[in-house]
Amino acid sequence: MQRKSRSRRGSACQLSNAHWPGEETSVTELRGRRRCRSSAAMDGRRWLPLEANPDFLCQLGLRPSWQFGDVYGLDMELLSMVPKPACAVLLLFPVTEKYESFRQEEEERIKARGQEVSPDVYFMKQTIGNACGTIGLIHAVANNQAHLEFEADSPLKKFLEKSSKMSPDEKATFLEKDENIRVTHESSAHEGQSETPSIDEKVDLHFIAFVNVGGQLCELDGRKPFPIVHGKTSEDSFLEDAAEVCKVFMARDPQELHFTVIALSKA
């Protein structure tokens, strides 16, 4: 089956769409918004579903020395097109019954066996519906502050400094009260290319982040109770290691085609 591929690039700080030409590691073009899933457990505060917007991180005060860009495929040839070094990967994927079943089994298995997680990981829970895109970006940026540059009055930098010692639940509550990030999120949602959806619209796509913290490949998902460690990694191998985990997500739901991968790389 042939799949069409189009790229969409823009200014620095862009969250752009990724497409896979080919068969085994391909996805179709995602139509409409790339939005976070409104979990049934999040019955209270909700934000508008966030579309990929070039200016979101810039509006939060992140300088464009690093930027998000397309990952066109998960094989070595296409991964080589991604600028290096890459310090974070965001995966957008469909939340299906298969995935939810796996998520529950994974949580129970880790609680029973335990795992070693670096104390330096910045991790927060998601308590705001439709906020997974923003939380994915926060996870990507927060765990790479040694690489990234901020404006002096950056709202995101201030949020990270004030929340650095908080628990994952406290960080979530702190985000609920942060008007600067909320307003920027809402503004970005309205500035997207497609029609702004209802705040209560059901969305079945979800953003998560992968980062390298202390040589550990960490999956950060605010819907989970803790980070998931996927083994060792390094600055040189991070992108390839994260791609292998993304392949597992795709293989779990082989009939699903709505997957997108973007990487935060040196400009």
Active site amino acids: 132, 206
The angle that helices 155-163 and 132-142 make with each other, rounded to 10 degrees, is 80
- Compute the CA torsion angle 130, 132, 134, 137 (nearest 10 deg): -170
Please answer whether residues 137 and 68 qualify as being in contact, where contact means their C-beta atoms are separated by less than 8 angstroms: no
In one-letter notation, the amino acid at residue 160 is L
Please answer whether residues 154 and 200 qualify as being in contact, where contact means their C-beta atoms are separated by less than 8 angstroms: no
d(CA 172, CA 170): 5
d(CA 223, CA 41): 9
Give the Cβ contact number of residue 265 at 10 Å: 19
Please answer whether residues 47 and 128 qualify as being in contact, where contact means their C-beta atoms are separated by less than 8 angstroms: yes
Peptide bond into 85 cis (omega under 30): yes
Which of 189, 164, 159, 190 has its CA nearest to residue 176? 159
Beta-sheet strands, E only, within the chain: 66-70, 86-94, 205-213, 216-220, 228-232, 260-266
